[in-house]
Amino acid sequence: MPEPRAREVVVRAPAKINLHLGVGGVREDGFHPLATVYQAIALFSTVTVVPADQWAVTCRAEPGIAVDQVPLGPTNLALRAARLLAERHGIEKPVAIHLDKGIPVAGGLAGGSADAAATLLACAHLWGLPTDDLAGLAAELGSDVPFGLVGGTASGLGRGEVIAPLVDNGEHHWVLLTFEDGLSTPAVYAEFDALHDGLEVPEPVIPDALVSALASGSSTALGGVLGNDLQEAALSLRPALDDVLRAGREAGALAGLVSGSGPTCLFLARDMAHRVELADRLAGGVAGAKVLTAHGPVPGATVVGLTLLDGTTTDGRVE
Query: Does position 107 bind ligand ATP by CB under 6 A?
Result: yes
Which residue among 101, 115, 144, 229 is the active-site one?
144
Closest to ligand ATP by CB, 71 vs 299, is 71
The CA distance from 55 to 58, in Å, is 11
Site for ligand ATP in 178-217 (CB under 6 A): 185
Residue of closest CB approach to ligand ATP: 112
Closest approach of Cβ 111 to ligand ATP, in Å? 3
Query: Does position 76 bind ligand ATP by CB under 6 A?
Result: yes
The CA distance from 75 to 193, in Å, is 26
Segment interacting with ligand ATP (CB under 6 A) among 33-41, 109-117, 130-138, 172-180: 109-117
Which listed residue (41, 43, 78, 129) binds ligand ATP by CB under 6 A? Answer: 78
Closest to ligand ATP by CB, 127 vs 147, is 147
Instruction: Calculate ∠ Cα 87-89-93, nearest 5°.
Output: 65
Cα–chain center distance at 132? 20
Q: Is the peptide bond before 14 cis (omega within 30 degrees of 0)?
A: no
Whether 208 is catalytic: no
Output DSSP code: residue 151.
Answer: B
Segment interacting with ligand ATP (CB under 6 A) among 74-82, 124-132, 235-243, 304-312: 74-82
Query: Does position 148 bind ligand ATP by CB under 6 A?
Result: no
Which listed residue (18, 113, 219, 228) binds ligand ATP by CB under 6 A? Answer: 113
User: Residues 111, 15: contact at Cβ < 8 Å?
Assistant: yes
Site for ligand ATP in 209-268 (CB under 6 A): 260-261
User: Residues 14, 151: contact at Cβ < 8 Å?
Assistant: yes
The CA distance from 225 to 211, in Å, is 9
Whether 144 is catalytic: yes
Closest CA to 81 of 108, 54, 47, 104: 47
The CA distance from 112 to 142, in Å, is 9
Closest CA to 115 of 176, 61, 165: 61
The CA distance from 35 to 242, in Å, is 24
Site string for ligand ATP, 12-51 (x = CB under 6 A): ----------------------------------------
| Contacting residues toward ligand ATP, per CB under 6 A | 69-71, 75-78, 99, 105-113, 115, 144, 185, 260-261
Q: Could you give the residue numbers annotated as active site?
A: 16, 144
